[in-house]
Amino acid sequence: MVVRVMSVVAAASSAVNAAELLTMSRVLSERGIWRPTTMAASWGAFRVLLSATGFRAVLALQLLAALGLALGGWRGGTDMPWVAACAATLASTTLLSAMRFGHTVNGGSDAMLFTVLAGLTLAWWPFASTVVHEAGVLYVAAQLTLSYVRAGWVKLRQRDWWTGRALRAFTAFPAYGVPIGIVQAASQHPLLTRLVGVSAVLFELSAPLAWWQPITCALFITVAILFHLGTAVIFGLSRFLLAWSAALPSLWYAMVRVA
């Protein structure tokens, strides 16, 4: 069940990414800031695939593979070869997208999505042993845990997260488009921003506890979903919500295997 949920959510995340990029056709053309004539020098043998026309075909393939992963992944069973192929295709198109822009389009969310898709490729790989299938899910769980701990460790060493200044700076940054009203008013309250900042640090550093036992695992996953939902609503980081939601079920699998 864990692998099936991960497959459906990862498929949704991949489909959203492809749909967003397809709507950026003007940006991807010769008139855009990522024009092929400027970026092509780093594409090498993938130049045809990453051209304006070729990349649209890649994104269309990503949408089809996402549909296949969602449908086949939920059914499982005899569809494993097809599902593994869809997961591998999505991992490949995610890499091609990073090559097309010279870096990941949306930072950590694209990297986490690739991690999930790579793990799912192993988890669904046909004719592989149970050890290989389990390794794919545990790999995602390990990378997910490290992502939280690393983010928490970085914040822990920055005084602004303990005083609330970091959070106030983020909400005031125009690029995030924080909604005007109660959110912006609350973000300027020193005690509240300090409480939220400290809570974020402690939450991220507590990720290893999800491997301990069912209660701590369920609690961490619930808080994590609310955390990413909040950042999606306030900061517009919707890709992070989908990518991390696709990875979070792996923690339950890891807890069951380790506890």
Rounded distance between C-alpha atoms, residue 97 and residue 63, angstroms: 13
| Contact (Cβ atoms closer than 8 angstroms) between residue 154 and residue 133 | no
Q: Greater confidence, 191 or 170?
A: 191
Confidence of residue 182 (pLDDT cuts 50, 70, 90): very low
Domain boundaries in the chain?
Answer: 1-128, 129-259
Rounded distance between C-alpha atoms, residue 178 and residue 187, angstroms: 10
3-state percent helix, strand, coil for the chain, nearest multiple of 5: 80, 0, 20
Burial class (CB in 10 A: 0-12, 13-18, 19+), 118: buried
Confidence of residue 162 (pLDDT cuts 50, 70, 90): confident
Residue with tokens 């990875």: 247
User: What integer pLDDT is reported at residue 216 of this predicted model?
Assistant: 95
Taking the model in full, what pTM does it have? 0.86
Q: Is the pLDDT of residue 189 over 70?
A: no
User: What integer pLDDT is reported at residue 95 of this predicted model?
Assistant: 86
Please compute the mean of the pLDDT values over residues 37-61 and round it to a whole number.
Answer: 73
Confidence of residue 103 (pLDDT cuts 50, 70, 90): low
